[in-house]
Chain A
Amino acid sequence: MTNNLLRKRTPLSALWTHGTIGLTALFLVACGTVTAIVPDAEGVEHISAIGMGCKKPYELTQDCSGLSGAKRLVEISGFQFKIAGSSDGSIVLMMGAKPTSDAWSGKSAETANVAYELTKKLLAENGVSVVKAEPVSSGAMLAGYVITADGDAYTVLSKMTVED
């Protein structure tokens, strides 16, 4: 009886496992691969979200956690995201962008791009220019950007802090 059950369950469970993996892969191919990045970051090497930390590739001493990444929550024009920064504020990691309420109609990782553009505009209004934008990605998913600025971008962005 036990052997019969095992014989019956093995193909089913194999089908289940392979089917689930296959469909997940198909789903990701169909829906999850958003690779377009902002023009400022075109041709720039991506930073792996998995490989990065508070010490590498940049030393981020402000609001950075080795476990969760950027810690300070900011909001610009209806987009919330978390930031961490270097000691002089010229390097900022921004990640986890999400729109609040009906800030926009997008449903994808493109939100990171919009958050970047809003950030760039805010910095420009405060006399700080982005000199380099590096995409941070996890597999095919865009997770955020590391911005290098010509001034203290982190202080400017920190003024947009909201309660987590």
Chain B
Amino acid sequence: MTALRITLIACISLVALGCTSNVSRFQMPDSDLGDIVALHIDPPDSEERNAEELRSFVVANLKRRGYQVQTRDSSATLGDGEYIFDIAADWHWDITWYLLELRVAIYEPGNNILVAQAQSQQSSLVRKSIEEVVERAMATLFNDPEEKEEDK
């Protein structure tokens, strides 16, 4: 019975604490975020959950960082310092909808080669707001010092 209790407690602790949230970041070798001037984002997809709200938080965050933000026109040729910004959100249902995973990524125009990406995941138990998840993912993507300290 003791072994059962210990196992149950260990499993619950693992679920409740070990997997609550996670961020990850990847930047392509030899790439530089310093030369980014403008970012082009696809218009929100009306069929995706909360796409407009999510996009507006991302746009606000990018503007605060001093980037020009434009709605992407796939037929337009982008100039130097102009990149594509991609947002991918994964919503899951657990009594109510919550944002399980948000991935933000910067791509080179033309060939769509990745420059950098960040991913923020949270479990059903955490359920941070859209704004909080966006802020966390963006801080990770742009390597904000505050986010680094928080991760430690």
Chain A interfacial positions (CB closer than 8 Å to B): 12, 15-16, 19-20, 23, 26-27, 29-31, 33-37, 39-40, 42, 77, 104-108, 110, 113-114, 117-118, 120-121, 124, 129
Contacts and interface: CB of A to CB of B under 8 A. Distances in A.
A36 B90 contact: yes
A106 B137 CA distance: 13
Interface residues of B, number: 38
A34 B101 contact: yes
Contacts of A31: 15, 18-19, 123
A108 B22 contact: yes
B86 A104 contact: no
B19 A120 contact: no
Contacts of B8: 19, 23
Contacts of A12: 1, 4
Nearest to A125: B113
Nearest to A116: B114
Given A12-B1, A30-B20, 7 more contacts: A30-B19, A39-B86, A104-B24, A104-B25, A106-B26, A110-B24, A120-B113
B12 interface: yes
Contacts of B113: 117, 120-121, 124
Nearest to B119: A110
Contacts of A34: 101, 121
A19 B5 CA distance: 11
Interface in B80-105: 86, 88, 90, 92, 94, 100-101, 103, 105
Interface in B1-28: 1, 4, 7-8, 11-12, 14-15, 18-20, 22-26, 28
Contacts, number: 89
A37 to B, nearest CB: 8
Given A36-B90, A39-B86, A121-B114, A108 B24 contact: yes
Interface of B: 1, 4, 7-8, 11-12, 14-15, 18-20, 22-26, 28-29, 86, 88, 90, 92, 94, 100-101, 103, 105, 107, 111-114, 117, 119, 121, 123-125
Nearest to B86: A39
| Most central of B1, B94, B105 by chain A CB within 10 Å | B105
Most central of B14, B20, B112 by chain A CB within 10 Å: B112
Nearest to B107: A39
> Top 6 closest A-B pairs, CB basis?
A106-B24, A31-B19, A30-B123, A117-B114, A23-B11, A36-B103
Nearest to A110: B119
A12 B24 CA distance: 40
B29 A77 contact: yes
A33 B107 CA distance: 25
Nearest to A103: B26
A37 B97 CA distance: 20
Nearest to B87: A39
A107 B4 contact: no
